[in-house]
């Protein structure tokens, strides 16, 4: 039996950023945000000896496991792994334009073959968790609604219920993935039009949502929003999400949040680098003046693996700077 889960506000999958440690911090800050793992290639998911470190969930639900792949047998296995690790959803990446991803035959290049994508979605389907898709509007610099419509029409035959749409085309060559975040222009209208045509599918809008006020406004027209860079740059914005989006009590950034996070990461030290464990938390200094001294001390403590001193310093920083 699949759970009823709100996808009103989602944190996008981001390679190198939405690690198990970042997701732990995100969950401490927001009870309701729907979280995503970073994209994991199906081969790594199935065969990697370090799989536990890659997909550790620690009950940070609701959360989705995003995978990259196009081999049917691997996708079927990946779906079972997502269930075993207590994920609420398995999501197929059909949006990333990077050359490395293209070499693996997944990401946005799959939009060239809509029948293959439908077959992939059918392989991911199960009776325990949702199988979903993240895609673009199309390929190349020119928008083509007919292409997008035909793509959605084909994959809808898989029984898919949720689609996350980055509302711009993917450009597969001649521009970096970073450049493709702003070029070509966004088209929210395409997503609105497709949403109205396929009322049995929930469409979550992604792209260009750079503050919570904009997210609130878009939720008047769309089923859900997905944000990425906004949270990557300053995850502490998530403390406002439960109040602003879900109309719950605002969270305060206090000693308990720091303690809770360190309680989770301390046993991981020695298995993971101290920088990977701490990097999600270090954005606490974002836009806070006079934090240079703290950052310098933390860098010194990190070199010496002095995690308890770092915890004490961050608690002091929070109390002195009224982060809440």
How far apart are alpha carbons 84 and 94 in whole angstroms?
Answer: 24
> What is residue 322's predicted lDDT score, i.e. its pLDDT?
67
> What is residue 54's predicted lDDT score, i.e. its pLDDT?
76
Going by C-beta distance under 8 Å and a sequence separation of 6 or more, which residues neighbour residue 134?
A: 13, 66, 91, 92, 93, 94, 95, 163, 164, 165, 166, 206
How far apart are alpha carbons 191 and 136 in whole angstroms?
Answer: 10
Please count the other Cβ atoms lying within 10 Å of the Cβ belonging to residue 277: 24
Does the annotation count 135 as an active-site position? no
> What is residue 182's predicted lDDT score, i.e. its pLDDT?
77
Model pTM above 0.85: yes
Catalytic residue from among 96, 109, 120, 135: 96
> What is residue 324's predicted lDDT score, i.e. its pLDDT?
55
Give the residues of the chain that fall short of pLDDT 50: none
**229 phi/psi in degrees, rounded to 5:** -60, -35
> What is residue 308's predicted lDDT score, i.e. its pLDDT?
95
> What is residue 271's predicted lDDT score, i.e. its pLDDT?
86
Q: Which of 244, 220, 248 is nearest to 230 (CA)?
A: 244
> What is residue 160's predicted lDDT score, i.e. its pLDDT?
98
Domain 9-244: CATH superfamily, name plus number: Aldolase class I (3.20.20.70)
SS3 of the chain: CCCCCCCCEEECCCCCCCCHHHHHHHHHHCCCCEEECCCEEHHHHHHCCCHHHHHCCCCCCCEEEEEECCCHHHHHHHHHHHHHCCCCEEEEEECCCCHHHHHCCCCHHHHHCHHHHHHHHHHHCCCCCEEEEEEECCECCCCCHHHHHHHHHHHHCCCCCEEEEECCCECCCCCCCCHHHCCCCCCHHHHHHHHHHCCCCEEEEECCCCCHHHHHHHCCCCCEEEECHHHHHCHHHHHHHHHHCCCCCCCCCCHHHHHHHHHHHHHHECCECHHHHHCCHHHHHCCCCCCHHHHHHHHHHHHCCCHHHHHHHHHHHHHHHCCC
Query: For the segment 280-291, what is each residue's pLDDT rounded down to a tens digit?
Result: 988 888 777 778
Q: Which of 81, 88, 76, 86 is nearest to 35 (CA)?
A: 88
Q: Which of 323, 296, 261, 297 is nearest to 58 (CA)?
A: 261
> What is residue 254's predicted lDDT score, i.e. its pLDDT?
80
Q: CATH 3.20.20.70 in the chain: give the residue spans.
A: 9-244
Going by C-beta distance under 8 Å and a sequence separation of 6 or more, which residues neighbour residue 179?
A: 171
Q: Which residue has the tokens 């599918």?
A: 201
């Amino acid at each position: 039996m699949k759970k009823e889960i709100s996808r009103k506000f989602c944190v996008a999958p981001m390679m190198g950023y939405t690690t198990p440690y970042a997701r732990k911090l995100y969950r401490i800050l927001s009870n309701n945000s729907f979280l995503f793992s970073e994209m994991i290639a199906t081969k790594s998911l199935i065969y990697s000896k370090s799989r536990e470190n890659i997909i550790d969930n620690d009950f940070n639900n609701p959360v989705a496991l995003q995978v990259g792949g196009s081999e049917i047998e691997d996708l079927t296995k990946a779906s079972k792994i997502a269930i075993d690790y207590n994920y609420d959803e398995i999501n197929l990446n059909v949006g990333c334009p990077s050359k490395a991803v293209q070499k693996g035959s997944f990401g946005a290049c799959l939009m060239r073959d809509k029948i293959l994508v439908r077959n992939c979605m059918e392989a991911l389907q199960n009776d325990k968790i949702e199988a979903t898709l993240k895609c673009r509007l199309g390929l190349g610099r020119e928008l083509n609604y007919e292409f997008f419509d035909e793509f959605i029409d084909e994959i809808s035959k898989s029984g898919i219920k949720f689609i996350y749409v980055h509302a711009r085309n993917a450009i597969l060559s001649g521009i970096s993935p970073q450049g493709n975040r702003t070029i070509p222009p966004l088209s929210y209208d395409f997503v609105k039009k497709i949403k109205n045509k396929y009322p049995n599918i929930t469409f979550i809008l992604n792209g260009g949502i750079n503050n919570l006020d904009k997210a609130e406004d878009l939720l008047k027209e769309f089923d859900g929003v997905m944000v990425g860079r906004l949270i990557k740059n300053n995850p502490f914005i998530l403390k406002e999400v439960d109040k602003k989006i879900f109309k719950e009590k605002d969270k305060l950034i206090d000693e308990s949040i720091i303690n809770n996070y360190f309680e989770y990461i301390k046993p991981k030290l020695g298995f993971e680098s101290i920088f990977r464990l701490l990097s999600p938390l270090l954005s606490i200094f974002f836009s806070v003046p006079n934090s240079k001294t703290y950052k310098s001390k933390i860098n010194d403590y990190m070199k010496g693996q002095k995690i308890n001193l770092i915890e004490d310093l961050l608690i002091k920083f929070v109390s002195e700077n009224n982060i809440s």
